[in-house]
Structure 1
Amino acid sequence: MKTAFIGLGVMGFPMAGHLQAAGNAVTVFNRSPDKAARWVERHGGASRPTIAEAVAGAQLVCLCVGNDDDVRDVVAQALPAMEEGGVIVDHTTTSATVAREMDAAARTVGRWFVDAPVSGGQAGAENGQLTIMVGGDPAAYARVEPMLAAYAKAIRLLGPSGAGQLTKMCNQIAIAGVVQGVAEALHFAKRAGLPTDDVLAAISKGAAQSWQMENRWKTMSEGKFDFGFAVDWMRKDLGIALAEAAVNGANLQATALIDGFYGEVQGMGGHRWDTSSLVARLETPKS
């Protein structure tokens, strides 16, 4: 399938590579041309200097950019240039509102838009093991699902436009609570004078087990946070969820509290630290 991929960050770069390796003819665009050139050097395919040129005649356009306004800008440039009947797949984490707006805009010109945020982090993107949560038309989803399998271990259509983004909000709400729980458990174990590795070995085999515990306990214990999903990104995602909750009436008391904790981590200079850095605010003496 003739494919374009817009946005070659830590997620988009390997995801586009998997599409190319799966036999698709991929053309990429990135705001930093040198990153697009590096992608072509590593994966083949092609790059173009504008979005319109990159998506010209494309049947599938994937994007993984920054925020709602970035998505609006890319889609406005892509829709007139891509193939009629083609599908835009947005892997950016955005509001459900913008997903519905883009779906409506695509339909008016005979194209399709599906919101398809991902979970699994940089490692999941590099290893082709992402979870993809999709909202949109079932026919459009059926057309692109085989392509998305190039970098996914699980793909699920959750409902109409916006459902993918709403599900991603559920994902981030759950992660925030789990990370805070792991941080407090580790902090408590240290204060109690327990051997933290042994505590992990014990409690990770019971009901407390989680991905965060298995993969982040040791680095949290060592105070290492220079990797993974950045605090700035998590605060953006939690902000989207809290804004949606203000509309639908959901009570997200813990999420709001933990979002504030991440604000404290930012105040410590941890903007680009991994989200597991919640433990840092517990370990840092309060002045």
Structure 2
Amino acid sequence: MAKLAFLGLGVMGSPMAGHLHKAGHAVTVYNRTHEKALAWVETYGGASATTPREAAQGADIVLACVGNDDDLRSVCLGDTGAFAGMSDGTIFVDHTTVSADVTRALYEAADGNQISFVDAPISGGQAGAENGVLSIMCGGDQGAYDRALPVMEAYSKICRRIGDSGAGQMTKMCNQIAIAGLVQGLSEALHFADKAGLDGRAVVEVISQGAAGSWQMDNRHETMLDDHWEHGFAVDWMRKDLGICLDAANETGASLPVTALVDQFYKDVQKLGGGRWDTSSLFKRLKSLG
């Protein structure tokens, strides 16, 4: 069992840290809103800290799941950042979806402090975090990954090292690119079924068993047909992720026409007031068009 710190107790981080505690690890948590950290301790046990540095002191591995590039920098760097409290030879594991550029910069900063840095973005949504069945895609040094893997297995269904620093984040971009097209396709299929006077649930029951089937279809068609959006992965966060994808595509020369189009559709959803709606609300956008 390891001594761990977990930074960020949102809808993903809180249950992930909970799985670590249940697995028998000694977990100290930090959250920008300290009341959340206190509430976590009341629910699970463990300990809380008021700064990332305090949480990281004495930890074998520090894990983070925060919001964006700036949030990640803030919990890593500076006098109160985790790097300042970590000992030589320890490991920082980042589960946030951020740019590969900030990942590589923090990898270099960590290396300068004799710390290992593993980028380990996750997929599976809130339900995957709560049930401990996330998919984790990792980048970084093999040795650091091997040491961190037994810890990450507490909340993962699959965890793989893809390559050097940044490879995990680039893989997560592939994940979000694929999801964007899938959700738009599912939304159009349900919209077409509605306009054709078909029973959407009956349609999905049949086509989900063939080549059209997907996780999105299995897990989102009911809430889409019920006009329920207050759950899941928020449109605001998806636009953040797709922005990262499109910036990286410009750097690599990749062509992402569908991704760019769906990103604009999500902008329309935001204009409808759906920034916090689930990403499946692309269907809501189509319905709003008449």
The TM-score normalised by the length of structure 1 is 0.98
Match of 1:44 in 2: 45
Match of 1:144 in 2: 148
Q: Distance in 2 between matches of 1:261 and 1:80?
A: 42
1:236 Cα shift? 0.3
Q: Distance in 2 between matches of 1:285 and 1:60?
A: 49
Q: Distance in 1 between matches of 2:279 and 2:252?
A: 26
Match of 1:192 in 2: 196
Alignment of structure 1 residues 48-87 onto 2, 5 Å: 48-76=49-77, 77-87=81-91
Q: Distance in 2 between matches of 1:218 and 1:251?
A: 33
Alignment of structure 1 residues 1-287 onto 2, 5 Å: 1-76=2-77, 77-285=81-289
Q: Distance in 1 between matches of 2:162 and 2:196?
A: 44
Q: Distance in 1 between matches of 2:60 and 2:86?
A: 7
1:83 Cα shift? 2.1
Q: Distance in 2 between matches of 1:220 and 1:165?
A: 29
Q: Percent identity?
A: 59
1:15 Cα shift? 0.4
Q: Deviations over 1:130-152 (max 9, x none)?
A: 00000000000000000000000
1:188 Cα shift? 0.2
Q: Distance in 2 between matches of 1:285 and 1:56?
A: 54
Q: Deviations over 1:169-200 (max 9, x none)?
A: 00000000000000000000010011111111
Q: Distance in 2 between matches of 1:109 and 1:214?
A: 45
Q: Distance in 1 between matches of 2:284 and 2:155?
A: 33
Q: Distance in 2 between matches of 1:198 and 1:52?
A: 54
Q: Distance in 2 between matches of 1:53 and 1:17?
A: 19
Aligned residue type for 2:198: L
Aligned residue type for 1:170: C
Q: Deviations over 1:25-69 (max 9, x none)?
A: 100111111110110011100001111111111110000111111
Aligned residue type for 1:133: M
Q: Deviations over 1:58-89 (max 9, x none)?
A: 11000011111111121111112112100000
Unaligned runs of 5+ in 1: none
Is the contact between residue 37 and residue 48 of structure 2 (CA under 8 Å) also seen in structure 1? yes
The TM-score normalised by the length of structure 2 is 0.97
Unaligned runs of 5+ in 2: none
Q: Distance in 2 between matches of 1:153 and 1:80?
A: 32
* Aligned residue-pair number: 286
Q: Which moved more, 1:75-84 or 1:221-230?
A: 75-84
TM superposition outliers: structure 1 runs of 4+ over 2 Å: none
1:285 Cα shift? 3.3
Is the contact between residue 246 and residue 256 of structure 2 (CA under 8 Å) also seen in structure 1? yes
Q: Secondary structure at the match of 2:210?
A: coil
Q: Distance in 1 between matches of 2:220 and 2:52?
A: 38
Aligned residue type for 1:167: T
